[in-house]
Amino acid sequence: MPTLDRDGDVFVLDIGDGENRFHPDWLAAVNGLLDEVEQAEGPKALVTTATGKFFSNGLDLDWLVANADRADWYVETVQALFARVLALPFVTVGALQGHTFAAGAMLSLAHDLRVMRADRGFWCLPEADINIPFTPGMSALIQARLAPQTAHAAMVTARRYGGLDALAAGIVDATADEAGLRTAAIELARAQAAKAGPTVGTIKERMYAPVLETLTEKGASLG
Show contacts with a copy of itself in window 149-208 (CB under 8 A).
Answer: 149, 151-153, 155-158, 170, 173, 192, 194-195, 197, 199-200, 202-204, 206-207
Number of amino acids touching a copy of itself (CB under 8 A) = 41
Contacts (Cβ under 8 Å, ≥6 apart) of 19:
54, 56, 57
Q: Contact with a copy of itself (CB under 8 A): which of 110, 146, 185, 220?
A: 146
29 versus 188: smaller Cβ distance to a copy of itself: 188
Q: In the stretch 58-97, what mask flags binding to a copy of itself with x, by CB under 8 A? A: ---------------------------------x------
How many CB atoms within 10 Å of residue 168? 12
26 to 55: interface string for a copy of itself, x by CB under 8 A? ------------------------------
Q: Does 132 bind a copy of itself (CB under 8 A)?
A: yes
Round to whole Å and give the CA distance between 217 and 199. 25
List interacting residues with a copy of itself (CB under 8 A). Answer: 91, 112-113, 127-129, 131-136, 139, 143-149, 151-153, 155-158, 170, 173, 192, 194-195, 197, 199-200, 202-204, 206-207, 209
